[in-house]
Structure 1
């Protein structure tokens, strides 16, 4: 599907893949047994999202987030 050498594991240090999820805290409890490299545990960010950030086995950053403040919930309800 990709040209040989176009995708190189553990080379990305600038991109974060983000997923909107229903409940970050519940997901964190499920992931604790399989994820080795959490960057942060669930944390409420100043902009109103509760976020969980970790590195996948290739070193890519993955962020799961849930809007928790009224403003953030409204922003993502569209």
Structure 2
């Protein structure tokens, strides 16, 4: 089995895609006006319109209703991401070095989903990501 992607359902695909393109620096691949994917080297964030829900199971997904999932991106420099998103995204928690060794920035996307951008900064945190000090990380 391979974990392939997470799909977020939204009432405004273009707005949400625009947020994630800016936040990640990755240009979305659009299949239709109702579906796009942000493909990184390690995972895909799929973004679908409410119109796509009916193709699976009508009424099974509701946009802007998530309060249990945090979408996470490993980035080279969390402080640079913070500067880039200042005034663009709702900042929930400023960049902070967590007890487990990641420097993290927590924001909300336009639909209210929590998004964590993090950079491992301690030797233990780097090792958990399979990185050595100074390794380049790409989203």
Scaled by the length of structure 2, what TM-score is found?
0.51
> Are 1:40 and 1:53, in contact at CA under 8 Å, matched by a contact in 2?
yes
Query: What pairs with 1:1-78 in structure 2 (closer than 5 Å)?
Result: 1-3=52-54, 4-35=58-89, 37-77=90-130
| Cα distance in 2, alignment partners of residues 39 and 75 from structure 1 | 25
How many residue pairs match? The answer is 77
For the residue of structure 1 that corresponds to 2:81, the secondary structure is helix
1:24-55 Cα shifts (integer Å, max 9, x gaps): 001100000311x2110100000000000011
Q: List runs of 5+ in structure 1 lacking aligned partners.
A: none
| Cα distance in 2, alignment partners of residues 30 and 5 from structure 1 | 36
1:58-78 Cα shifts (integer Å, max 9, x gaps): 010100100001110111126
**Greater Rg, structure 1 or structure 2?**
2
With a CA cutoff of 8 Å and minimum separation of 6, indicate the structure with the bigger relative contact order: 1
Scaled by the length of structure 1, what TM-score is found?
0.88
**What's the RMSD between the two structures over aligned residues?**
1.4
| Cα distance in 1, alignment partners of residues 110 and 122 from structure 2 | 32
Q: List runs of 5+ in structure 2 lacking aligned partners.
A: 1-51, 132-139
Q: Which has the higher helix share?
A: 2
